[in-house]
Chains A and B, each alone.
Chain A
Amino acid sequence: MEAADAAAGGEAGGADNARDGQGGQEGQEGQGGGLGRRGHGHGLGGADAEAAVAGEAPRVPRPPHAPGPGGDALSTAGRPETRVHIFALGVPFPSQLEAEIARASFAPYREPYGCLVEQQLTVFGSVLAIRWRAENPFLLRISIINFLDQLCVVIRTMQRFRFPVPAKPALAKGG
């Protein structure tokens, strides 16, 4: 199976996490001097490293939910970011017919958390393409695992009871 490009972020395979994508790009741009600093404060950046070298306590950025000097956590907490996780998968089949059979075997399947996890199945040539979209990575992971389990059964069924029987042409009247 090949992992197709994720729609957002354009990275091949795997889940596209918006935060990591941005952090990676910023890191590559090399903000600040010295050791460089990641956009979201992962690990020690340049200024903190210099402080540690100088024997001072590293300055740790205050988490957004921590109360400020006024003691009111709500007033300092920011709105949690809404991140969309997208996962895409491409499954090649020997023929378009079998890819269509696999797609139709899954088509009526309703996600238990249908409002939270979107799943789309499409056939491109002989490849069955599946795309998931969810805000909750836990539910996304469950959906992917369940799908792969069912896909395994479908493929084994095809291998064991294979050779689709083409539809018989309608007999002509009097024939």
Chain B
Amino acid sequence: MPAVLGFEGSANKIGVGVVRDGAVLANPRRTYVTPPGTGFLPGDTARHHRAVILDLLQEALTEAGLTSQDIDCIAYTKGIAGRLTIEEHTWSLARSEWPAALCYHHYTTTPAPPFTSLTFPSLVFPSVCRILTPISIPLGPGMGAPLVSVAVVARTVAQLWNKPLLGVNHCIGHIEMGRLITGATSPTVLYVSGGNTQVIAYSEHRYRIFGETIDIAVGNCLDRFARVLKISNDPSPGYNIEQMAKRGKKLVELPYTVKGMDVSFSGILSFIEDVAQRMLATGECTPEDLCFSLQETVFAMLVEITERAMAHCGSQEALIVGGVGCNLRLQEMMETMCQERGARLFATDERFCIDNGAMIAQAGWEMFRAGHRTPLSDSGITQRYRTDEVEVTWRD
């Protein structure tokens, strides 16, 4: 009955969790909240994490009723997913041994029909692969400093207590916690957070990325829009946007950008940042209307690409993970789509949707039982740790 201690601190949430045999024994967390209109910077976030991590560690052990000797393994976030350039993305698809169908890309230039009446084209395209104009796209959000601050503590306690160390992929942590809490067996996963937006399905010992954002994450889009309206960051900008959206009445037409299996949010953000002040000043709409419109647009995009992936895989389960997965409107839209397909939707609450230490501990528990270990010399963090880089040896 191994007990695993997990450290998570890749963004503005820092958590330390303890998991043993599928039971979450402790999961305390702290959030670094910045003033309205501002975001969180790596240096300040790292400083926050360093100030609270040892108290959190003590709190986790106390809540779990364990001592250091009861812990069998120390897990920590080794890295988060980064986004690839178009060339790397195409090559990654080819290398991942998916059918050639996934090499098909098309650009949607007209607004897509509502997802409820989506006509799903056949995906069997042998060797049809459009080589896209090379466009360099920035990598992930890059919270290296917070990752390092947490990893250093994990390495230190692993040596102090003479326990093995395990570096965990942040996305895998979300997926494994989602599977544990919901009981989903082999779902199509929609991973949506401030730093990542991916549609993932499991095949042959890898979590394969079907589609993803080609620029910013959906949570990043929402958070940066919140700054435009000076919406409070407490408890989180996304939560406050959700509450405001419930009071919205008017749908403002925004760019809808789905590109095959991928999505793009930077154009939507630029557009809404540009028109928000003008429309609010002229009284064309209210801030609540803008929140409502943004949610409806981006969530519809996510539902579309998830449905496309489910159709390709023949999947009857959908699982939403990541901080944006807490959004009840997103869950409602996904539920509608799943019902129409005769599928089941799985989602967790804010305890496990939002970044937390227990998810790292759970993924670490699976990896530990499968024999994974991370030598100290390989325990550096990385800001470019793709979800499909991990060999998932703990699943058939």
Contact = CB atoms under 8 A, between A and B. Distances in A.
B159 A161 contact: no
B377 A108 contact: yes
Interface string A90-103: 00000000000110
A149 B50 contact: yes
Contacts of A153: 50, 53-54, 149, 152-153
Contact of B57 (A108, A152, A161): A161
Given A110-B380, A162-B160, A165-B161, A104 B53 contact: no
Contacts of B144: 112
A149 B44 CA distance: 12
Interface in A90-137: 101-102, 104-110, 112
A157 interface: yes
A166 interface: yes
A158 B380 CA distance: 20
Interface string B44-71: 0011001001100110000000001100
A35 to B, nearest CB: 46
Contacts of A109: 148, 152, 380
A107 B378 CA distance: 9
B149 A164 contact: no
Nearest to B47: A149
B160 A158 contact: yes
B165 to A, nearest CB: 10
A154 interface: yes
B160 A108 contact: no
A165 B160 contact: yes
A106 B378 CA distance: 11
B179 interface: no
Contacts of B376: 104, 107-108
Contacts of B153: 153-154, 157
B243 interface: no
B157 interface: yes
A108 B79 CA distance: 14
B155 interface: yes
Interface in A60-116: 101-102, 104-110, 112
B109 interface: no
A158 B156 contact: yes
A166 B161 CA distance: 8
B69 A156 contact: no
Contact of A157 (B54, B69, B377): B54
A167 B377 CA distance: 19
B182 interface: no
Name, among A106, A110, A150, the residue most crowded by chain B CB atoms within 10 Å (CB to CB): A150
A91 B68 CA distance: 27
Contacts of B378: 108
Contact of B148 (A102, A150, A162, A167): A150
Contacts of B47: 149
B164 to A, nearest CB: 12
A138 interface: no
Contact of A108 (B58, B161, B379): B379
A107 B159 CA distance: 13
A160 interface: yes
A101 B128 CA distance: 54
Contact of A105 (B50, B58, B156, B377): B156
A101 B149 contact: no
Contacts of B151: 108
A108 B50 contact: no
A106 B152 contact: yes
A160 B148 contact: no
A89 to B, nearest CB: 17
A29 to B, nearest CB: 44
A114 to B, nearest CB: 11
Contacts of B145: 146
Given A104-B376, A108-B378, A165-B69, A150 B152 contact: yes
15 contacts: A102-B156, A104-B376, A107-B376, A108-B376, A109-B148, A112-B144, A149-B149, A153-B50, A153-B149, A153-B153, A157-B54, A157-B153, A162-B160, A165-B160, A165-B162
Given A105-B152, A156-B54, A161-B68, 15 more contacts: A101-B156, A101-B159, A104-B159, A104-B376, A108-B155, A149-B149, A153-B53, A154-B152, A157-B153, A161-B57, A161-B157, A163-B160, A164-B161, A165-B160, A167-B162
